[in-house]
Amino acid sequence: MRNVKELYDLWVDKVADPALVKELKAIAGAEDKISDAFYRDLEFGTGGLRGVLGAGTNRMNIHTVGKATQGLANYIIKHYEAGKRSVALSYDSRINSRLFAEVAAGIFAANGITVHMYKTLMPTPCLSYAVRTLGTSAGVMVTASHNPAKYNGYKVYGDDGCQITEAAAAEILAEIEKTDVFNDVKTYPFDAALAEGKVAYIAEDVLTAFIERVKQESVTFDEPIDRSAKIIYTPLNGTGLVPVTRILKECGFENVIVVKEQELPDGNFPTCPYPNPEIKEALTLGLEYAKRENADILIATDPDCDRVGIAVKNAEGDFTLLTGNEVGFLLLDFICTLRLKHNAMPSPAYMVKTIVTSDLTEKIATHYGVNTINVLTGFKYIGEQIGLLEKKGIPSSYILGFEESYGYLTGSYVRDKDAVDGVSMIAEMFAYYRAKGVSLLDKLAEIYKTYGHYVSTLESYQFEGAEGFVKMQEIMNDYRNATEVEGKKIVTKKDYSLGIDGLPKSNVLKFTFENGDTMVVRPSGTEPKLKIYKCVKVD
């Protein structure tokens, strides 16, 4: 058991940043707050770091970012030759994102590692693309994705543009753990590093090349499509504004209205406290715009622009929100239909989905002769599968990867979900069916009629602090020993913590019940939440 009071006193003595000093003084004598801030080090894994902003070892601040960066720098030095060590760096609109990016850049520079950094905030997929295009040793994206404003994070990418593997994460963690946060972190002033060429801004043509590559994902070929639809777009005060409006315009969608209040970067997210396109409340303002402007479709991207959610006008003139699963069904059917029609379906062809994504996806894929690969939750595992196909010399065999949490990718040019690509493909799909007089809701009804109607739900339960962490583990153990759930008898139970189905070990349980319904339970990897996914056949 660590001595949190001793750690607190050390930070009070060592920390110089005025904001952190003020916070440390503010919690003096508050044992519960001190415990929560220092009871553990912020967990580092394949997703890097993510946590609440503030002072302490269990918080996102310049010191926890610095320690992680020094650990990553040590890893790069071990694995790459001097003179060939480099990092791509990007950041989103969150509080302190630019600060953390500059701190990290200075530490890499101090360790002799060249930094290629976007001059302004840029989406996560653009970071992955920069790693691959510039050939860097690693990448760092400062973001907490869709989390509330009090969070920030630090995602680490390998030289393939994919989030780091379990093995790399373990090795980097070992380096982090032997780094003293106040004595072992090398630093260099950002402005000096920039002036001396140790840090260089990424050229504008890298973003242009990214946009051009996304445009190549089109599958409509010479099909007639109707791009006249009125689109409401919201970047939810994140990074999506420039690349998303650009891709829409360059693909011929001129009738686009941006939600003014959510147009510019703002880490406080004043009109959407939970900036997640999965959550209806985050789309409230966009839906108001859509109704007022008599729009055809609402499109929203999260702060780091790797997730995309939509709502479409229904027969009553109101708007229906589509789930991540439903958009995935539509995209898969759309892509397969047109690829087959135009003899553009690779052989073999693969789509990749996470184990919490609806199994209906696999039925659609099988119908079109496409193989399905199931992976653990997290798009890094989808990116890993693209890499494996690339090693086999068949990267073009990958046609789509998606997860129910609104993440999509149709090409192998990046190794993470890409909302710029998602927006482009959704708009193209909408325009293709619009030209035929078919709505996305009509098409979805047709899919359900063909394969069966499945309804998927996600329930999230919050467990804050040290006590919450313990409680989640207890609940997982109770589920692990259960023979029935909510009166339903469990027919099969998959415990992924045992390393089954050829997948890495993960604290995930999947139940199948007598009637064929399924349920998946897992702790979130990014928030103090327990997530329960249910999939029920309704006809």
Query: Based on the domain organization, do 263 and 401 belong to the same domain?
Result: yes
> Is the residue at 1 inside a domain?
no
Place of tokens 């890993």: 384
* Length of the chain counted residue by residue: 539
- Decide which of 450, 485, 515 is a domain's last residue: 450
Q: Return d(Cα 390, Cα 369) in angstroms, integer.
A: 20
Express each pLDDT in 320-335 by its tens digit. 999 999 999 999 999 9
CB contact at 8 A, 320 and 331 = no
Inter-CA distances, 54 with 16, 170, 317, 481, Å: 14, 25, 45, 38
> Is the residue at 7 inside a domain?
no
Query: Based on the domain organization, do 351 and 471 belong to the same domain?
Result: no
Output the DSSP codes for 31-81. Answer: HHHHHHHHSSPPP-BTTBEEEEBSSSTTSBSHHHHHHHHHHHHHHHHHHS-
- Omega of the bond leading into 348 within 30 degrees of 0 (cis): yes
Neighbours of 494 (CB within 10 A): 16
Q: Give burial (CB, 10 Å; 0-12/13-18/19+) of 489.
A: exposed
Q: Give burial (CB, 10 Å; 0-12/13-18/19+) of 301.
A: buried
Please count the structural domains in the chain.
3
Query: Based on the domain organization, do 53 and 141 belong to the same domain?
Result: yes
Query: Based on the domain organization, do 245 and 378 belong to the same domain?
Result: yes
Query: Based on the domain organization, do 393 and 254 belong to the same domain?
Result: yes
Q: Give burial (CB, 10 Å; 0-12/13-18/19+) of 171.
A: middle
Query: Based on the domain organization, do 395 and 442 belong to the same domain?
Result: yes
β-strand pairing of 398-403 with 350-354: parallel
User: In the prediction, which pLDDT does 470 show?
Assistant: 87
Place of tokens 């050829």: 502
> Is the residue at 299 inside a domain?
yes
> Is the residue at 3 inside a domain?
no
Query: Based on the domain organization, do 45 and 159 belong to the same domain?
Result: yes
Instruction: List the pLDDT tens digit at each of the 539 positions of the chain.
Output: 689 999 999 999 999 999 999 999 999 989 999 999 999 999 898 889 999 999 999 999 999 999 999 999 999 999 999 999 999 999 999 999 999 999 999 999 999 999 999 999 999 999 999 999 999 999 999 999 999 999 999 999 999 999 998 899 999 999 999 999 999 999 999 999 999 999 999 999 999 999 999 999 999 999 999 999 999 999 999 999 999 999 999 999 999 999 999 999 999 999 998 999 999 999 999 999 999 999 999 999 999 999 999 999 999 999 999 999 999 999 999 999 999 999 999 999 999 999 999 989 999 999 999 999 999 988 999 999 999 999 999 999 999 999 999 999 999 999 999 999 999 999 999 999 999 999 999 999 999 999 988 888 888 898 887 788 889 999 999 999 999 898 889 999 999 999 888 888 889 999 999 888 899 999 887 678 899 998 888 87
Express each pLDDT in 408-466 by its tens digit. 999 999 999 999 999 999 999 999 999 999 999 999 999 999 998 888 888 889 888 77
Q: Return d(Cα 189, Cα 185) in angstroms, integer.
A: 13
Query: Based on the domain organization, do 304 and 340 belong to the same domain?
Result: yes
- Decide which of 450, 483, 509 is a domain's last residue: 450
User: Rounded to 5 degrees, what are φ and ψ at 117?
Assistant: -125, 135
> Is the residue at 17 inside a domain?
no
DSSP state of 509: E
- Decide which of 415, 434, 450 is a domain's last residue: 450
Could you tell me the pTM of the whole model? 0.94
How much of the chain is helix, strand and coil, in % rounded to 5?
40, 20, 40
Q: Provide the residue range defining the domain that includes 251.
A: 231-450
Query: Based on the domain organization, do 280 and 378 belong to the same domain?
Result: yes
Minimal CA–CA distance to 103: which of 82, 117, 85? 117
Q: Find the distance separating the first CA and the last CA of the chain, reported in whole Å.
A: 53
Minimal CA–CA distance to 144: which of 288, 281, 328, 267? 267
> Is the residue at 393 inside a domain?
yes
> Is the residue at 498 inside a domain?
yes
Query: Based on the domain organization, do 241 and 142 belong to the same domain?
Result: no
We report the CATH number of the domain holding residue 147 as 3.40.120.10
Query: Based on the domain organization, do 443 and 460 belong to the same domain?
Result: no
* Position 409, amino acid: L
DSSP state of 96: T
Query: Based on the domain organization, do 445 and 516 belong to the same domain?
Result: no
Q: Give burial (CB, 10 Å; 0-12/13-18/19+) of 78.
A: exposed
Q: Which residues are the active-site residues?
A: 145
